[in-house]
Structure 1
């Protein structure tokens, strides 16, 4: 009958719309999943972990929260830096894959030079601030800071390591054109760097999170395969990273051997970075607002500046002319002062970057 035919057509139409809706939802979720390492998400994560580093340093300088909670705050330092290193490696390879020779051609001027000039600016600021606080330093320390044999500016070792890695990347990319071979070279040399630092008795702060750069480059060059694997076994891999993180942290605490302790910290940094990135992947399209929101976006915009300028206020627990005795007042001053000064310092860094850009000549 016509009525039955009409109902059948209506049913088919509804089924077709439902299938189309599911397909569109699936495509939307897939698109969101592919964007879990977008520039915005990366910036938000760096903002979160810049604050984590600040909490780590305030714990060290304030004398508060000793005990079990203090162990967590202490570990936040190298684990957070690992996230920064991960995105350094990941971002380099993604940019290189997109621009190839053009990226390498302008790399020294656009990436290395601005970082080094910013580093010199920070060194000068900290040198002057130490004079104000009556914290002594020698002319030799200042000169050695310029050539990376010392670090007068607080946390500037991070900039030193990044600059050296940038130069290594530029030289290697000039010789090794294939991206996968380039990544293999980065992985091998990163391992050799860590071994060399340990053998030369370099402070472990400079390398205990460094392999996260290699992890970032590996992730970038294999992203499609990694995404497919995470789509299928993301939860299992997330749980595995948690277990490995716990194992390596426990090993660091239990085993009284320097080499094993440093290896455990390096491995735990890799596990933590993996855990954080997989977590963001699983949040994609669902509760991503936990990571990507106006607050984290703002913090991410100033993440580098928050990281490098917080030492200005941390030194208020070391000086003799200006010294904050009360630890709670110290924490408030650190947080507010760091965030406000980061805004000012950001304008300086942006100005340096603009001045270092190659000038376009109009014919």
Structure 2
């Protein structure tokens, strides 16, 4: 029965490619960067991230005792940061394109871009907090405060929605107060790089920037901005050189990934564990390697997208609830695991991996829809208040 989990490796390609259109030699998918295509791709990747999280609870090498390790989803365990890199790319690409195509885009930027992300963070924080109490986690007063403020992640999968508002704020400040577009792009990029460099100075901990996953793929945010800025020239170049650049890039993904793994094994992020005098340098070498594979991976996806247009009802649906599903499915990952985040024994452990995945997905979908509805009601009410104030 455990081997049934390998069915996901056949199901995923079907979910992604069902209804896809492949373009001929002299034809192009000119919508490969459209909102519809990017949402569809992110909806698919949300499912991959779910498998990544289940894999971390069942297949990861750090699981103790090792006898609990189950084979099946090991492929997804180390790839989470690469999946999230795609999200950061389209975050950066989207804000830059919107800034240049929508009049007065920065007016109301907080309400459109930042507030929904913050709302998603704290709504799921409160839900997770209630679940932690229900499963019997013991908390001190300080823990309660840290959890409810999200300084300590009550929802262990929210680092992305903590980091993203800061990047949006970087973008807003730069493009609000710097009139030259090129300089605004450069300063936004510099601020994200500064965040990465700052992250490498922090040892692993229980609060913000608690590990390398907080910064090892975020370079794709400014890469997305840069791609949008030079999109016309880049797309023209890729079309002209496609049958050389595409196969080289796609074939490079695996060796570059192996190289990044090797660099992390040689240098690594955990130098503080053995008192390495060059811990920060080690982290910076490692993050450069992982940033490189993220860039190659995203570029490969974009190049393939120039010839393959994805789209079906499943992808459209998942694309409409990506953020909510990303944030809420982890509750069921934790409830059905061996232990809930924090060490309390999970009340509904599911040993069969395929059933585990199915339960997380089936329960995650209606939860995401309810969460999206709640967010929509709150944000709609906020817009009404703002309109009256104006």
TM-score grouping bracket, smaller chain normalisation: 0.7 to 0.9
| Whole-angstrom distance in 2 between the partners of 1:142 and 1:93 | 38
The Cα offsets for residues 81-137 of structure 1, whole Å up to 9 and x where unpaired, read as 00111110011001111135x221211122222321232111111100111112344
Q: Taking structure 1 as the reference length, what is the TM-score of the superposition? A: 0.82
Pair 1:205-2:231 in alignment: no
Q: Give 3-state SS (helix, strand or coil) of 1:357's partner.
A: helix
Pair 1:46-2:56 in alignment: no
Q: Which runs of 5+ in 1 are unaligned?
A: 1-24
2:364 aligned residue (316, 334, 338): 338
Contact 2:59 2:71 in 1 (8 A): no
Hey, what does 1:293 align to over in structure 2? 312
Contact 1:234 1:282 in 2 (8 A): no
| Whole-angstrom distance in 2 between the partners of 1:321 and 1:191 | 39
The Cα offsets for residues 188-247 of structure 1, whole Å up to 9 and x where unpaired, read as 222221111112234101011101111111111111111111211123222332344333
Q: Give 3-state SS (helix, strand or coil) of 2:99's partner.
A: helix
2:157 aligned residue (146, 155, 158): 155
Hey, what does 2:56 align to over in structure 1? 60
Pair 1:216-2:242 in alignment: no
The structure with the larger Rg is 1
Deviates more, 1:168-177 or 1:202-211: 168-177
Q: Taking structure 2 as the reference length, what is the TM-score of the superposition? A: 0.77
Hey, what does 2:323 align to over in structure 1? 304
The Cα offsets for residues 249-278 of structure 1, whole Å up to 9 and x where unpaired, read as 222333411133332222111111111111
Contact 2:249 2:299 in 1 (8 A): yes
- 4+ residue stretches of structure 1 with deviation over 4 A? 64-71, 145-148, 358-363
Q: Give 3-state SS (helix, strand or coil) of 1:310's partner.
A: helix
Deviates more, 1:222-231 or 1:242-251: 242-251
Q: Which runs of 5+ in 2 are unaligned?
A: 1-22, 62-68, 204-208, 269-281
2:287 aligned residue (262, 265, 268): 262
| Whole-angstrom distance in 2 between the partners of 1:355 and 1:362 | 13
| Whole-angstrom distance in 1 between the partners of 2:188 and 2:216 | 16
Pair 1:356-2:379 in alignment: no
2:175 aligned residue (170, 173, 176): 173
| Whole-angstrom distance in 1 between the partners of 2:143 and 2:202 | 20
- What CA RMSD, in Å, does the superposition of the two structures yield over aligned residues? 2.7
Contact 1:134 1:321 in 2 (8 A): no
